Structure 1
Amino acid sequence: MVTVRRPIPSHRPMLPAAATGAAVALVAALALAVAPSPAAAELPAVSYLLSNFQLMGLGQGSSSAVRSLDDELYFWGDQIPVGSERTTSQYTWLSVDGHTGYECGIERVTLHTMCWGTDKQVVNSSPKVPALQVSTGPLHACALTFDASLIDLERLTLKSDTPASNAAFLESVTPVCWGDGGLHSNNNLSPPAIGDAAAGDPIVSVRTGDGFTCVRTFKGRVQCSGEYGNLEGPAEDRVPQGVLFSALTVGEKHVAGIEAGTAELRAWGDCSSLNECTAPTGISFAGAESSLSAGRMFTCALDTDLRPHCWGRVFWPRATPETSEFIEINSGLTHTCGIRRNDTRAACWGECSFGECDPPAEFNRIPCERHAPRGVCLRTISPGVCDSRACAAGYTWRFDAPCGCYYKFASIAVPAPGASVGGGADGTTDCRTRTGVPFFYMDGADASNRASRCLG
């Protein structure tokens, strides 16, 4: 297995390390649970757009993830896109997505899109524009662009919380696509323009498939352009009419969404006889977009208990871990990875012939901001002791119940300004701020680390 690991830049300040086990500690949070608190006049659609960032990118034979602790991008698997290390090592990252032979990401400082790999038509035509989301398909990619002059790019908040600034920002959000339309593409490089910023309903999600593009608005309207692979007929003709969706995902040739208000999953497109478009009955699905993913003839989704279910082409060597809880999942063509809720480890399943399902154990070690033995922190969930600590200015630290150091699953974007956000019976701990990008401080160090003041 080929793995790429880069040292964390010495000029970047480090926050306390997360507690994880032997697998890679990606410290990734569910998109809705990593948002800075909105300013007083910030509209819900604005908060949503500045909160939803996909942290895992899965291609064919490779996986990647942004570690929110330090915004570093890591890769594993034997088919990592060509140029990944060379292209990404000098940057930090906000979001990433991948496909066969190439990946695209959003660079953290400028929020510009960037692509790398062997698909030259996508890579060479990638616009270096500020974006809040990027999505990769077999032959084309799309992004949600915006007017960066209105945003504090470091804090991911509006520079001004006036109604005029809110309106201007929403008006500026535009999906753009590039690459190759492919066979029967029927204008898939022109995403549907269904957003209505004036009504607080801008496009908040863009997803790419094989020759088609779908978008979702803040209030849940969905429309697609292009074809479903080689299936005749325009994609927009197959979108369920009169249905609003809280989440949307796109597989190679099919689309799935969670119906708003019902927790039911609907799917459509070029559906095979393997039933990737037929969800199992009797399951209430979580409504967050990061709880839903799809690949080549399969669909995966988290239920309301955060347990994954996959259906369709799922006769895999590595089975879906249906008894585990996850806060985020994403799928490549033939495999799926997620961030486990109880220990923030990455876990993957599906067809795993190229090491794409095996995050390397050495990612469990990171340089420490304090002086630990040999300058390295070994992060562990045992004995799992949490300490109250002072937070940076503007942050609130709180924990309730016995320490579990779990991420908090949130169904709403952020609390009101000044409100503290704590845990519950699951032992959640978190810090938030309305003036800066939030981080989750998780402390489960062993006695050696605590004695060295590495995490204490």
Structure 2
Amino acid sequence: MRLRLAAAVAVTAMLAVLLAPARATGSASTIAIAHGTDIVCGIVARTSPRSVQCARAGVADAQPFPLLPNISFSSISGGRSSLCGLSADGTAFFCWNAANSSSGTLPRKRVYNGPVALEELAVGEAQIAAVDRNRTFVQWWRQYRGFPSNVSGSYSSVTSGRDFTCAVNASGSVNCWGPGNRTIQDAFASANMSTIVAGDSHVCGIDVGGSLICVGNNDTGQATPPMGSAFEFGSLALGSNHTCAIRRANGTVVCWGGGTGGEYTPTNSTPFEFIVAAGNLTCGLTTANFNVLCWGTDRKDPAVTKLQLPTLLPGVCTSSQSSCGCGLFADSETLCSGSGVICQRCGVGVVQPSPRPPSPSSAPSTPPSATSSTKTNKRWLAFAIIGSVGTFSGVCSIVYCVWIGVCKRKKVHNSVQPTITAAGNGGSHAAHSSATGAGSIVPSPFTSPSGSRSRIFRRQGSRVMRRQRSGPSSFKDRAEEFSLSELAAATKNFSLETKIGAGSFGTVYKGKLPDGREVAIKRSETGPRAKKFQEKESAFQSELAFLSRLHHKHLVGLVGYCEEKEERLLVYDYMKNGALYDHLHPKNGEESSVLNSWKMRVKVLLDAARGIEYLHNYAVPPIIHRDIKSSNILLDGNWVARVSDFGLSLMGPESEGEHLSARAAGTIGYMDPEYYGMHHLTVKSDVYGLGVVMLEALTGKNAIFKDEDGNPTSVVDYAVPCVVAGEVGKVLDARVGQPGLHEAEAVELVAYTAVHCVNLEGKDRPSMTDIVANLESALALCEESHGSISSASMSFASAD
């Protein structure tokens, strides 16, 4: 048994050398694409140091620009709007924020600088993975919840996707980590793989028998490869919804998926050394002259363009010639500038593993007899029958799980959608509002997860994943109905001493119910002074409709309501520690010692972001709050932040790219300029409001405040120029004090996230899912007390 296992491991290792490495946006290579951008970068050949140069694929004759020209790199990898490069000695890697590029430069940050040499850098959406050169562990940086810091074991072919990282272990099995790990890992359960590569949410690879296998999201046919013989395909490249492969016999490219199904050849007969992909873009290095050609997923017109990049390396330079199972690449020492060699891509046509030497007690030297062959066939027949039964059972189990986990969950999703008549169109705060058109927004691009998802596992499953990450949530029983006399008694007849604030449609009082519960009671204006009773009614119905159906740790809980004649009251859980606004802008010099720490401020922002993420990503259609501000972020007795005041909330459109046409409503200083000026309301309007709150928490300034000359100034105009210039420290709230070593990186990350949130155009703002990931990473940094390796998000906030 041990001999067979050793032989299997040997064959797996041999095939890993024989097969051309598979590359994509989340795998190490010498060319990489920043997902969500048109920036393509590569490691320059025949130069010392081996620097990285980039060009824009979407710009004709775009001139290349360098990244850290004085550092020599071995490989690079692309993630969502980002690129990372591993130094030639493997002891450091840098990352660049491609979404924040200007004037041919990309903001950079050194993420790792340590004594252990790394290789196989694999950048995902919000995580970076690599193995040590001795292959004893896999480690992650800038990971969000769901990824380990490291795992022990010998792994190869490390690759990262949207919310998972996978690798092949020494026995050929696939191991995956992260929130989305199980779907991919389980799909490879019976496979013995040599290499794998990840796209956005699907994975393809070559098994030890030379077969091409794809698993995961298959919405557009990207996980349905063309039929081919063993070892027909070599280098692979996976985008968001398409897959490409090189035919080993002639180096030509075949692609599939992308929305219309079937396979197509985008570059005709051009042979390539390897290809990479990200989003809807694929690029390859031609065999003839090492030119970089790029194309899209339109099979009728892939629009192949040539990038104006210098000669790039056709493979990773390695100092170990013994790892090159098929010899050295022609002139590789010159290409590597005398500091390494490149392994030759294995032969033309079908490549079979080298025969294993027979053991003394096995492997007969003569051809097997007919009897032996018959026995073997019977064994295979028995194996096939047992396998078929097992497969059928597995399929039945999957169908049952899908029915239980999706169909029933779908009922829950539908119950999120309240039926609102007048409330659906309104609310008031500063102006009338009305919504026309039905339709919706699923989280949009920028750094947000994009791309199609399977109807079962990705669309529903991803929402469940986000729901779990955002904290506990459930559906509560119907809200209690109170009488006016009960609530009057609870508030001492709505006396002034019990008044604690005001909401979007009335005054808020603190009350105590007969059973001892402390509550907050919001009472709308009544009588002749209520000139806009219909608007107040709409706001009341809106909050009642939304909060009676939604329950989440970071949303203020609705206890009950009262409707008597013209009286409209809502009863909430009492938030003992008041509003975030009051702690950031205390009156009479009253300082909050609890919120005068960067860790607590980041934690409160994260809580609020999780609540908003729940509204945007879990509700169907999404709920747009419309009045995100620091006074609507309340703190309970445990300093857990909750989003409140849904009087202006509306249900958003369901189709990506659509918007509601609604008259502006909200609070000056927090309102989305696109919504305020053009009346285009999307979930990104809430993102803008949260961005202002983030700047408020960082600076201690009001959303609108008077500068030294007494002129009204917005916190956006005050803070953003300093953050963009890399001078975050100039605008930080002095009451909190200077951040420590790890806190400084966390605060910097929050600041750059906030800058993205307050972009003038909604399409350029991140999704709430991305914001939550960044704030989770920032909080993790604040909690770090020791360690040389930091874990922050993929925003790569500052430059070293």
TM-score normalised to structure 2 length: 0.28
TM-score normalised to structure 1 length: 0.47
More strand by share: 1
- For the pair shown, the structure with the greater C-alpha radius of gyration is 2
Higher relative contact order (CA 8 A, sep 6+): 1
